[in-house]
Amino acid sequence: MLHPLPNERFRCDFERRSSSPAKLLVSSLPLQARPFSVPRVIKKSNHALSTFRAAPPKALEDFEIVQRGLAFRSRIDRVFSGCGQRETPVLLVPRPSITLKVEVVRLLQSALVTLLIGAGFLSQPPQSYRVESEPVADGTELVTFFGRLHNAASGSQDLRSEEIDVPLVAVLRDSLGDGDPANDRLRYVWILTSTQPTPWQRAASALSFGFFRAGSKRHANRVPSPALDLASPSRSVYSNLFSDGLQALEFDPLGRAIRSTTRTYRGNSSDYGKLEVFQALATLDNLDRDPTNVSVLPDSQFREIYSRLSLSTHTFGGLVRERQLSKYYDKRTSQLQQTRGHNWDLLRQRAELNGLIFEPLALASGTPSEALLWIARSDLDARAERHFDGQFLGIADPWTDDRLMHWTGYTQLRYFDSDHQPVPAWTPGARAEELIPLALYNLDYPQVPLLLADFRDSLHPKRREMLSQGAASMVTGVLGLTRFGNPEFFAADAAFAFVRGRHGAAVNRSARLEAYSEAREFLSVDSSLDPALKMELQHQLDHLALNPRENDVSHEANLAREQYAALLRYAESPRGAAKIERDRRKELEAYTHPRGERFFVALGRVFTRGPHVDPEKPDPILHARLDAYRRTAYNIRFLDQILASSPSPDVVWDAGAISRSVSALTSDTIADPKTQRIVSQVCARSTDADLVLTCLRATQAHAATAQPSDASAPIALGQ
């Protein structure tokens, strides 16, 4: 078998003999070539080693020298006519034994590598979350976040074998049919576990002090309502403000019953929406941003989805401008990491101080968001000597609790070495300890770990939550005291909450909801916990399900899959295509029509239902115009944000990317008044010579093509 040498320089030294294809003619290389170790095979052949210096060993080791010297060369002069004069030709033939041996070794090597890769692949736990893109109608895609959830419907206790991929969040991305993110537009976000309430759920959610789950939906075959429209995030702000105003001005004066009922109904509805949003955020938080996922969803789009979802839980979150989203994302994620680190250490210290065992819990792709506290049964023997300080733990003293002495609930056998470090069971000298779980905490609650489950007193967290929500319902719903209607109450409430918060009390309802939602999500996805412990934790966590609208977590996988199927059917249907086309027209109007005109056009649509759209015949001109406007907006946004981020744009960003953006703006057919100003600023503040030259050329080109008075100039982008 012939092996071509890797170096171009050696090619002239080879020739295949016509009479014997297996033989090769090889000349040696120039003697002044740099030496290197000569293959063992050649050394054994007892020839002058200097002749073979600089020959590639991997090729030569397959051959045996059978003839060398000038006598041989005289017969093959034509072969070496192109090579140097100081060469000594040799005749090499492949060594059958060596060749066979090498081939066998290579075969074994490749088999071993394949085996190792396969074993590595199989031993790696599958990703908890992944993202996929599914093309739907007319140049749009459905970007879906999947999670590996335990299939509760199977009834199996083997969590790993019964895991299924469940679509959790879907986002419609209008890419206009190409793969360039510059002209992409993110539209609707669906949280697929969120459902419309049943009539009984609706009725129960209007009951004041009705802190119970009113059944659970088992099937949802309708297209879910989008949780957010990323193209128009401010709409939800105005509708919320309108309903708040309606509540304060119209419903509240109607009496205690109406006020209490309407406030409870709206509160439960809002809480359920937040619960689902927090669950979606937990999904995004734990998504591993590996290259596969990034190729499906670029970082900028991921940040936009995450930030908009998170901001949707704030009163004025929808009004935050697009340029602030990346900053908000950085701020929120770094704050989350800080909070987790702080709570992790605080809980660990408190556990060690009280002689308890601290165990952080995390998904494979994330940092610990939950933690368990255990107590060793053997330590209870010496409990008289123990002292307990329950600050920040929120649980009763385990050393004086007789229930633990006769504990019949869940326990776990763990092994520790002489340094009290956990070790596998087979470790020599390992000491077995029976551990009793005490409590589950969430580490994302600001300032202190939040107690979510107390194994000795299951209703303890529930009582705390009911008291808190009941007090709020009593004050606002029954007594009619609101924070904005009663400044004295507002001041007293704020002061009380501040002091209690400083003492470690969980006074932030939204943060409590977020902690509960994250724990639910964690238990749904995690496959590392012991199944019995996981069931116990889910049972404990179910006590915190106080919202009548909330569905049972065991049904959510089925609900999400059914809703996703319905969504896919809708997106591929003519109705879905027509909706996309109408949205595109509205978007184009936003680029080309002033705000006032758009208002009247929208008003007209209320009565005329708008222009007819044929989904079977998409308008290519509209697509081309939209593509141009989106690219211009993208480049302007890009340069605008870079200018805002640094006095010298080329210091913080690749000058080539800025140049490309400037060139794209200049060659654009869309004349935007911002373009000239932004390019001038980039030119004035750049230090890179090539970039400055590009900007100057762009400025000159713009000046040459600019019209002195253009009455039909389009309005500024981004209005």
Partner 1 sequence: MTRSAHGILILPFLLALPLTAEVKRVVIIKLDGVPENVLERELARVDPITHKSTLPWIDRAFAQGGTRIDNFYVRAISLSTPSWSLLDTGQHLQIHGNAEFDRYTGHVYDYMNFFPFYLSYARWHKVDMPGVEVLDQQKIPQLIDRFPYPAAYQSFQLYQRGVRWETLKEALPHHFSHGFRELLDEWTIGFELGGKSKSLTIA
The residue from 216, 236, 333, 641 that contacts partner 1 (CB under 8 A) is 641
In which element (H, E) is residue 65 found? Answer: strand 63-68
Torsion of CA 226, 231, 236, 237, to 10 degrees: 160
Q: How many residues does the chain have?
A: 719
> Does 654 participate in binding partner 1 (rule CB under 8 A)?
yes
- In this structure, what token pair is assigned to residue 93? 């033939």
Distance CA 705, CA 631 (A): 20
> Does 180 participate in binding partner 1 (rule CB under 8 A)?
no
The residue from 241, 254, 319, 382 that contacts partner 1 (CB under 8 A) is 319
- The answer to whether residues 413 and 407 touch, using CB atoms and an 8 Å cutoff, is no
- The answer to whether residues 550 and 272 touch, using CB atoms and an 8 Å cutoff, is yes
The residue from 176, 231, 657, 701 that contacts partner 1 (CB under 8 A) is 657
> Does 14 participate in binding partner 1 (rule CB under 8 A)?
no
In angstroms, what is the minimal distance from the CB of 314 to partner 1? 6
The β-bridge partners of 164 are 149
> Does 300 participate in binding partner 1 (rule CB under 8 A)?
yes
Nearer to partner 1, 153 or 716 (CB): 716
- In this structure, what token pair is assigned to residue 135? 């093309």
> Does 501 participate in binding partner 1 (rule CB under 8 A)?
no
**CB 7: neighbour CB atoms within 10 A?**
12
The residue from 167, 197, 233, 317 that contacts partner 1 (CB under 8 A) is 317
Interaxial angle between packed helices 509-525 and 460-472, expressed in degrees from 0 to 180 and rounded to the nearest 10: 140
> Does 223 participate in binding partner 1 (rule CB under 8 A)?
no
Q: Which segment (486-494, 557-565, 649-657, 675-683) binds partner 1 by CB under 8 A? A: 649-657
The residue from 57, 177, 181, 480 that contacts partner 1 (CB under 8 A) is 181
Convert 463-480 to b/e letters by CB count within 10 Å (16 or more is b): ebbbeebeeebebbbeeb
Number of H helices, E strands in the chain: 24, 14
> Does 492 participate in binding partner 1 (rule CB under 8 A)?
no
Q: Which segment (40-48, 89-97, 321-329, 567-575) binds partner 1 by CB under 8 A? A: 321-329
Q: Which segment (192-200, 255-263, 320-328, 621-629) binds partner 1 by CB under 8 A? A: 320-328
Nearer to partner 1, 180 or 250 (CB): 180
In angstroms, what is the minimal distance from the CB of 601 to partner 1? 25
Q: For 671, phi and psi rounded to 5 degrees?
A: -90, 115
Segment 132 to 151, residues that bind partner 1, using CB under 8 A? none
- In this structure, what token pair is assigned to residue 198? 């049943």
Token look-up 């492949």 returns 94
> Does 326 participate in binding partner 1 (rule CB under 8 A)?
yes
> Does 316 participate in binding partner 1 (rule CB under 8 A)?
yes
Q: Which segment (308-316, 411-419, 508-516, 555-563) binds partner 1 by CB under 8 A? A: 308-316
> Does 301 participate in binding partner 1 (rule CB under 8 A)?
yes
Query: What is the 3 state secondary structure string of 142-186?
Result: EEEEEEEEECHHHCCCCCCCCEEEEEEEEEEEECCCCCCHHHCEE
Distance CA 100, CA 98 (A): 5
3-class DSSP state for residue 228? strand
Angle at 563 between CA 560 and CA 567, to 5 degrees: 130
Q: How many CA atoms lie within 13 A of 585 on its CB side?
A: 17
> Does 290 participate in binding partner 1 (rule CB under 8 A)?
no
Nearer to partner 1, 110 or 687 (CB): 687
In angstroms, what is the minimal distance from the CB of 646 to partner 1? 7
In angstroms, what is the minimal distance from the CB of 226 to partner 1? 22
Closest CA to 92 of 53, 42, 48: 42
Can you point out the beta strands (E) in 318-466? 357-361, 370-376, 412-416, 431-442, 450-454
In which element (H, E) is residue 522 found? Answer: helix 509-525
Nearer to partner 1, 165 or 640 (CB): 640
> Does 716 participate in binding partner 1 (rule CB under 8 A)?
no
> Does 235 participate in binding partner 1 (rule CB under 8 A)?
no
- The answer to whether residues 195 and 551 touch, using CB atoms and an 8 Å cutoff, is yes
Nearer to partner 1, 591 or 638 (CB): 638
Nearer to partner 1, 27 or 301 (CB): 301
Angle at 278 between CA 226 and CA 437, to 5 degrees: 145
Distance CA 190, CA 223 (A): 10
In angstroms, what is the minimal distance from the CB of 299 to partner 1? 5
In angstroms, what is the minimal distance from the CB of 593 to partner 1? 22
Binding mask 19-58 for partner 1 (x = CB under 8 A): ----------------------------------------
In angstroms, what is the minimal distance from the CB of 10 to partner 1? 38
**What is the strand order of the sheet 24-27 is part of?**
15-16, 24-27, 89-94, 63-68
**CB 316: neighbour CB atoms within 10 A?**
11
> Does 328 participate in binding partner 1 (rule CB under 8 A)?
yes
In angstroms, what is the minimal distance from the CB of 652 to partner 1? 4
In angstroms, what is the minimal distance from the CB of 690 to partner 1? 15
> Does 644 participate in binding partner 1 (rule CB under 8 A)?
yes
Nearer to partner 1, 106 or 323 (CB): 323
Give the interface with partner 1 as residue ranges (CB under 8 A). Answer: 181, 298-301, 303, 311, 314, 316-317, 319-321, 323-324, 326-331, 637-638, 641-642, 644-646, 651-654, 656-657
